[in-house]
Amino acid sequence: MTDLHRATGDQLSAATLYALLSLRVNVFVVEQKSPYPDLDGRDLRPDTVHLWWQPGAEPLSYLRLLTEPDGSARIGRVCTAPAARGTGLGARLMAAAMAEIADRDAVLDAQVQVQSMYARWGFQPAGEPFDDDGILHITMRRKWMS
């Protein structure tokens, strides 16, 4: 069995959802001091895809994929536990996300200091940086070349 996990919102158990939300809160709200309404009603939808890396009892890295109204994919809630940073987990999750997205256009809001990671996957800045709860972000898009 692989340490990479995939589930749609309607496939998540309560315990798994709790563990994923706990990682998100610990990174975004506690560590980055960015209190925001993380529970946006999209986590349990059957068209939301959750990808996470979990070699042991707790997830170490996570992201979710949403389908936007125009059919494009939105990558969000990308986070890695502090102890697992620098190990390549973000790149592994992005590879899985890009395989999942396949030939759809995609968008994400990247923290400015890590936009080069997303550029490796074909994402380009779209617009100017913006403040999101005290952290500079930039919208990045990847257009599929058919």
Q: For the segment 54-92, what is each residue's pLDDT rounded down to a tens digit?
A: 999 999 999 999 999 999 999 999 999 999 999 999 899
Amino acid at 91: A
Residue 146 has pLDDT above 70, yes or no: no
Residue 63 contacts residue 108 (beta carbons within 8 Å): no
Q: Which CATH superfamily is domain 4-104 in?
A: Gcn5-related N-acetyltransferase (GNAT) (3.40.630.30)
Nearest Cα neighbor of 110 from 64, 84, 77 is 77
% helix, strand, coil for the chain, step of 5: 30, 30, 40
Regarding pTM above 0.75, the answer is yes
- The phi and psi torsions of 127 (rounded to 5 degrees) equal 105, -170
Q: How confident is the model at residue 39 (pLDDT cuts 50, 70, 90)?
A: confident
Residue 32 has pLDDT above 90, yes or no: no
Which helix (DSSP H) or strand (DSSP E) does residue 118 occupy? helix 115-119
User: Which residues of the chain form beta strands (DSSP E)?
Assistant: 4-8, 49-53, 61-67, 73-80, 106-111, 124-125, 130-132, 135-142
Mean pLDDT value across residues 12-28: 95
